[in-house]
Amino acid sequence: MTEPVPPPGRTRWVAFAVLCSMQLMIVVDISIVTVALRSIQEDLGIDQARLAWVTNAYTLGFGGVLLLSGRLGDLVGRKRMFLIGLTTFTAASAFAGLAWNQEVLIAMRFIQGTGAGMAFAVVMGIIVTLFTDPRERGMAMGASGFAQAAGASFGIIAGGVLSHGISWHWVFYVNVPIGVVALYLAARLVPDDRGPGLGAGADVIGAALVTSALLLGVYTIATVPDYGWSSGHTLGFGGAAVALFIGFLIREATAAVPLVRLGVFRNRNLAGGNIVHLLFTASTVPFNILIALYLQQVVGHSPLSTAFAFLPLAVVSAICSLALFARLNMRYGPRTVLIGGLLLVVAGLALAARVPVDPVYVVDFLPVALLVGVGGGLVMPAVMMISMSVRSPDEVGLASGVAGTSGMIGDTLGIAALAAIATAHTNALIADGGEPVNALNEGFQLAFLITAGVTVLGLAVAVLVLRPQPAPPAGPPGPPPTGEEEHAAAGNRPAAHS
């Protein structure tokens, strides 16, 4: 693949700002509908069984195309794939806002997620080629990590403000003007790149297998409250999902031009980073959604007050990703920063497992928000930097697609599984004569405890699998690097701190 020539400094950062803003908007749309679901349900008459698919359809479309889109970006150009995905996302957002029944809304959410996945799959690849200097790349990864770490909480805030202040339609309409402006700027500012063309192969069969496996897996978990874990429905569809995924692995091991070259996972940091990413998103993204539901359904908050409750989490996450990560990364390396951030997130999620029915905000919620916000703001840029550890420029798109897919699988399966577990536990307590509000609260508490356990697994992988970073040199800051030194320092290895 012919790599683009990075534009001059100021133009490069403006182009990056466009990419980062779109990352944020795409991740925001995973959770933005959460606090608007009640209004959507009442307006469109969506039955309770289908309501979860307003969220699930987006994540399914998103996760299903990430690997294929990353590969296509390498073949036809990442900029072109980004523009196609962003156009699809923006158009589907407009039609989702216009939806007149549940079928149209769910279909548009799937298409919206598909466009989001196409754009998101290549963003990290573009960013890596924009920034070769370790300091600049650390700053860029911090900002990109902020977009992903804070996206879920900002989605809750935006959804609460828009659905309360205007109407639920605007949780979708808001994407349209932002998307149009981003399309114009990206077309002008993002450098062009050229790939070898579609003749090199895109492995559509592999993409179909992994997408079908994800679809059946999420459907199976989402319907557990209706059928039970040991039912023929659950075991049958779950077994089919596993079989399809095994078929995908066999296909990738034998295809002449695979969608995912399995040999890339011999890289411990890439493989371990993606496992950590999957486990982290499987715990924290569902946590953001479930804690918002807890505030509304148990505590009785309105969508607007729920949005204000999330402000501290979003603010500290932004500060840590944008202002703190780059400095800590240069001093200690991404692995150390990742482990420290995961410890903070585990502490916050463990505290969340104790939330009462009648919480005192500064005692029961604020410490949780601060710990998860600070930890998440450090974890996401660190894990994305580690997950992009590839040596060949031709594999940047693949690494970007794999990193996005691992996060999206975590999001999708985590949301479906934890919602199903919380609902099943609540229903069992009510069937045993428990008071509904207390039963609902205990269901959320169990889900939060599981998120803490999943994050502990991610912490164990980070400690045991990821390679330690070299110790930073001591002493005062050195002189600014020359052009040759900057070129030699390009990559993911830590540089001397300042």
Closest CA to 45 of 109, 101, 97: 101
What pLDDT is stored for residue 392 in this prediction? Answer: 60
9-202+259-469 homologous superfamily: MFS general substrate transporter like domains (1.20.1250.20)
What pLDDT is stored for residue 27 in this prediction? Answer: 75
Confidence bin at 265 (pLDDT 50/70/90): confident
Residue 293 confidence (pLDDT) above 80: yes
Q: How far is it, in rounded angstroms, from Cα 414 to Cα 410?
A: 5
Closest CA to 9 of 133, 193, 187, 123: 133
Q: Does residue 237 or residue 55 have the better pLDDT?
A: 237
Confidence bin at 91 (pLDDT 50/70/90): very high
Q: How far is it, in rounded angstroms, from Cα 341 to Cα 486?
A: 29
Q: Is 494 helix (H, G, I), strand (E, B) or coil?
A: coil
Buried b (16+ CB within 10 A) or exposed e, 289-308: bbbbbbbbbbbebebbebbe
Residue 8 confidence (pLDDT) above 60: no
Give tens-digit pLDDT for 161-180: 776 667 788 888 888 998 89
Report the share of the chain in percent with pLDDT over 90. Answer: 17
Give tens-digit pLDDT for 357-373: 888 889 999 999 999 98
Confidence bin at 5 (pLDDT 50/70/90): low
Q: How far is it, in rounded angstroms, from Cα 193 to Cα 73?
A: 9
For residue 107, the Cα-to-chain-centroid distance in whole angstroms is 21
What pLDDT is stored for residue 342 in this prediction? Answer: 95
What pLDDT is stored for residue 372 in this prediction? Answer: 92
In this prediction the pTM is 0.72
In the chain, domain spans: 9-202+259-469, 203-258
Residue 51 confidence (pLDDT) above 80: no
Q: Does residue 455 or residue 433 have the better pLDDT?
A: 455
> What does the pLDDT average to over 351-355?
92
Give the Å distances, CA to CA, from 383 to 48, 327, 329: 36, 16, 11
Confidence bin at 9 (pLDDT 50/70/90): low
Give tens-digit pLDDT for 326-343: 788 888 888 899 999 999
